[in-house]
Structures are given as structure tokens and as C-alpha cells.
Amino acid sequence: MNPTAAKGYQAYQKNKYETASPHRLILMLYHGAIRFVKQAKNSLDEGDSQQGHQHLLKAQDIVYELISSLNEQQGGEIASNLKNLYLYMIDQMMQANMKKTSEPLTIVLEMLESIKEAWEQIGKELNAGHAYA
């Protein structure tokens, strides 16, 4: 990619994040976490523990960001339960990283996909509500 095109792409990416709604930002985090966990799983399955390690670090960073986005005062029990799920996911990613096995990542992917789907449904309901307002 030439330098001018690269700068344009970087500006586009920056704008995409700066103009996204809070709901959309969380959805982007889920997509990123899922992508990196899948890449880590593939790397570990192929015996590339170093690449798996790098992908797991990125996935863990994203899940920590999801934790920091929680408002436990307003979110109450739901936020607390999500935090516990996120901490469990991080623990499973650490286990996969230490043991150089992708097995713990299967449940992490299932959990992330499930929560992402629920988050997408919330977005659809929010958008439908705005359409009638």
C-alpha cells in the first residue's frame, strides 16, 4: 500500500472508532476478541505456540477492555455476572497459553459468540425502538 493510501486508511479507521456509538464500540470489541481467539486456536493447533501467545495477549487485552467498560453501579447483577464470565475467559486463555493447547479456547469462543449475539439483538431492539420514536 502506498503511503498516501495508508494514511487515508488510517484516518478512515480512526474515524470509524471515534464516531461509533457505545453499543457499536462494544460490538467491535467482541468481534476483535473472537478474531484473536480463533487465530490463537489455529496457531496452537498448528504447533505455533509463539504466534498463539501473541494472539492470546491481544484477546486478553480486549476482554480486559470489556471489563473496564462495565458499570457495576448501574448494571448491578448483570454487570457483575458479565465481569465473572470475562474473568473466567481470561483464566481459560491463560491456561491455553501456559499449556500450549487450544482446548480451553473452545469454551471461550462459545461464550464470546453467545454474548456477541445477545449484544447484536440488543442493538436491533434499540434501533427498532428509535424507528418508532
60: domain CATH number is 1.20.120.340
pTM of the model: 0.82
Percent of the chain having pLDDT more than 70?
82
The per-residue DSSP string of the chain comes to --HHHHHHHHHHHHHHHHSS-HHHHHHHHHHHHHHHHHHHHHHHHTT-HHHHHHHHHHHHHHHHHHHHH--HHHHHHHHHHHHHHHHHHHHHHHHHHHHT-SHHHHHHHHHHHHHHHHHHHHHHHHHHHHHH-
Quick check: is 18 in a domain?
Answer: no
- Structure-model confidence comparison of residues 128 and 58, the more confident one: 58
Sole residue written with cell 448483570? 78
Quick check: is 2 in a domain?
Answer: no
Quick check: is 13 in a domain?
Answer: no
Quick check: is 84 in a domain?
Answer: yes
pLDDT confidence of residue 7? 54
- Structure-model confidence comparison of residues 11 and 16, the more confident one: 16
Q: Which residue, 44, 69, 68, is CA-closest to 56?
A: 44
Quick check: is 10 in a domain?
Answer: no
Q: Determine contact, residues 102/92, Cβ cutoff 8 Å.
A: no
Domain count along the chain? 1
Which range marks the domain in which residue 125 is found? 23-132
Quick check: is 73 in a domain?
Answer: yes
pLDDT confidence of residue 9? 39
Quick check: is 8 in a domain?
Answer: no
**pLDDT tens-digit readout, 88-111:** 999 999 999 999 999 999 999 999
pLDDT confidence of residue 72? 87
pLDDT confidence of residue 65? 97
Surface-to-core class of residue 62, CB atoms within 10 Å of its CB (0-12 exposed, 13-18 middle, 19+ buried): buried
